[in-house]
Structure 1
């Protein structure tokens, strides 16, 4: 398995980043040649998959799928995926969602807004800011700049819902006019009571994202 590759932008994750501090030296008096000046190319536009297709992709992926449930389609489409956990009677729940905002430019705006909210405010009213956050250089076999434009990761170590303590792992991925989101909220029950539920470690979500990514990205076909 290639594994989730992360670039440090916050606490908790060790990785490598890009250094943009340097500039290219073209020599004294150098001017770009018209024949070598890059021209902007229109990005391809992709068809958003149906919820049923997302669920079918989950079953083709490396995830240990117990069952799937297509989500109601509106502005987005997605699947609720039950994944095998340490307890057969209590699988993890991974949600994968695709949004189509029409154009790459408009989608970029929504992606940046979503990323800023997840990194600065929290993924929901229950999370608060993340304890780990990072750019994603690779997820599964997919690499930034090749199979997707860019992606971010956020991990919330302690999320309390109805007095139960979970953790939450989130990946938001941008590919032209599509935003793909993967979200794991869960915990492991170590005893017989609700109080025995312990938040999942970040590597649980990271492995699920790796296991799901290739099959999910393969759904995106050009219009």
Structure 2
């Protein structure tokens, strides 16, 4: 892995330097094999980019470049530049949430500054031939943060009231809450409507594709 960048400028320059390269070229330099597909290697592209950019944070509550306050997110895009899937941000707390404020939340910390790296994601393109796009350093505008905060507060209120099993992906204009686990046997604690602890799948916050599409459109196409 390359040494961690000492400044935001250095990080952005590294990201710009790998733009236009294929995943095969980047994997060859890193000395790693390309998987046949991403079905069982969903985080492979992110790890490859981390190697090239020098991300070393292992604390999931902190940003990938904790010393710079920047999170790294690869985003698969179509031929037309549209995001192909929602973006996972972090796990959601399901217990001990009373009194938790948006300003102190892990998800806000992750969303405060993101280095977006678009990667070709069309399944018709072999993984090895997919190209890395130009990077984007982004922080939410006041309007974007208000949307995120509003969604977060609604979702956290439902969690606090024991309504975790009633939350679906339909909730949230920008931020949604969905199950996130390697398999259905991975369970965690949450509160049910009776106020007693129950077992349920872990949940994570995701950015909707419409939200990330607006970010890309406003930066690259305006």
Same fold (TM over 0.5): no
Max Rg structure: 1
Choose between structure 1 and 2: higher helix proportion. Answer: 2
Q: TM-score range by the shorter chain?
A: under 0.3
**TM-score, normalization by structure 1:** 0.25
**TM-score, normalization by structure 2:** 0.26
Q: More relative contact order in 1 or in 2 (CA 8 Å, sep 6+)?
A: 1
